[in-house]
Amino acid sequence: MSATTVTGSPLGLGDIAKHLGEQAKYFLEHQCKTIPKDQLHLPGPDFVDRIWVNSDRSPAVLRSLQSL
């Protein structure tokens, strides 16, 4: 998913940097050194099955999460 303008057209990296102003470099070049990559749960089509299915969530809640 990419950021979009009010008109619905995609924002380029330059547009995003312009909106971030003086903090653009801080946000766009940040590299996390505290959380290892293998501990991230990245989104994908099977996210609910990988992460939430073994929880105590009801089927209705799982269905709602899947629809997001």
Q: How far is CA 21 from the centre of its chain?
A: 21
| Confidence at residue 22, expressed as pLDDT on a 0 to 100 scale | 92
| Confidence at residue 1, expressed as pLDDT on a 0 to 100 scale | 47
Q: What angle do CA 13, 17, 30 make, to 5 degrees?
A: 90
- Percent of the chain predicted with pLDDT > 90: 59
CA-based nearest residue to 48, from 34, 35, 59, 36: 59
pLDDT band at 12 (very low <50, low <70, confident <90, very high): confident
User: Taking 70 as the threshold, does the pLDDT of residue 26 lie above it?
Assistant: yes
The conformation of residue 19, written as its DSSP 8-state character, comes to H
For the residues 11-25, what does the mean pLDDT come to?
A: 89
Q: For residue 10, list its beta bridge partners.
A: 4
- The number of beta carbons lying within 10 Å of the beta carbon of residue 48 is 19
For the whole model, what pTM was predicted? 0.48
